Amino acid sequence: MIIFLRTLLFILVSLMLLWGGTSIVTQIIGNAETSYVTTKNNSPKKVLFVYKADPFYNLDQQICQSLAEGLSELGYSSSIVTTKNFEPSLAKANLYVFCTNTYNFAPDWDTKKFIQNKINLKGKKTVAITLGAGTTARAKRLLEKSIQQAGGEIIASKEFWLMRPNDESRMDEDNVTVANEIAKNWATDIVQKINAF
Ligand SMILES: Cc1cc2nc3c(=O)[nH]c(=O)nc-3n(C[C@H](O)[C@H](O)[C@H](O)COP(=O)(O)O)c2cc1C
């Protein structure tokens, strides 16, 4: 019995260490990326997207790109940067979009720190995006709270998932493709909300 309990304890501690290590490595590593989505007439209406690149898969980059493409069709040019690649020259924008990955039911550390310390959001129109495998409700609440604490005005907030269906009526389609389509179409709602404020 004692051998069984010791083995069980050993397995549990090993799993916890492995999960803790993976969580820390995931939060620390990630590419530095910048991309731009412009409008045909190089519109002066600017959007700044900020995210921390996940090291395993690029749903973050894809969702930002899709929403930026939707916004470009409605006259907004976007700069999409990872927290590592942010430059103060990009800080002036008409709309700010923060896209966090969820790790252990919370927003990623870099995006949260960025909102708290790297940008002045007082009175700024802001969109919150929370990504994850499927359990993102708490991370979404915490992301919204940090934006509000920084003085940002949240005009829209949405979750997108890697594993959980993004639209239960489209289960036969690729889930990431569905997420990207939803993100692109969401631009219409967002622009309506910008204009309504
Ligand atoms: C250590 C670790 C913890 C995670 N915790 C959660 C979680 O609590 N909830 C969730 O929905 N996804 C969780 N995920 C999944 C990531 O959030 C998911 O891979 C990512 O957000 C998907 O988008 P990406 O392509 O930008 O990585 C976790 C992933 C890792 C590696």
Predicted local confidence at residue 42, as pLDDT: 78
Q: Which residues pair with 77 in a beta bridge?
A: 46
Q: Are residues 72 and 149 in the same domain?
A: yes
Predicted local confidence at residue 40, as pLDDT: 82
Q: Are residues 58 and 122 in the same domain?
A: yes
Residue 94, domain CATH: 3.40.50.360
Q: Given ligand 1 and candidates 64, 82, 131, which is best to mutate, with the most ligand atoms within 8 Å of its CB?
A: 131
Predicted local confidence at residue 117, as pLDDT: 95
Q: Are residues 19 and 41 in the same domain?
A: no
Residues in the chain: 197
Q: Are residues 4 and 61 in the same domain?
A: no
**Which residue is listed with tokens 């820390």?**
24
Q: Are residues 96 and 20 in the same domain?
A: no
CA 91, CA 121: separation in Å to the nearest integer?
Answer: 10
Predicted local confidence at residue 41, as pLDDT: 81
Give the residue among 181, 183, 119 at the shortest CA–CA distance from 147: 119
Q: Are residues 15 and 104 in the same domain?
A: no
Q: Are residues 78 and 26 in the same domain?
A: no
Q: Whose CA is nearest to atom 21 of ligand 1?
A: 132
Predicted local confidence at residue 124, as pLDDT: 97
Query: Closest ligand 1 atom, CA of 131?
Result: 21
CB 191 within 8 A of CB 76: yes
Q: Are residues 69 and 20 in the same domain?
A: no
**Which residue is listed with tokens 């939707």?**
70
Stretches where the chain sits below pLDDT 70 are: 197
Q: Are residues 47 and 68 in the same domain?
A: yes
Please work out whether the CB of residue 13 comes within 6 Å of at least one atom of ligand 1. Answer: no
Number of structural domains (the chain) is 2
pTM attached to this predicted model? 0.94
Q: Which residue range forms the structural domain that includes residue 185?
A: 32-196
Predicted local confidence at residue 1, as pLDDT: 83
Amino acid symbol at 125: K
**Which residue is listed with tokens 């069709």?**
73
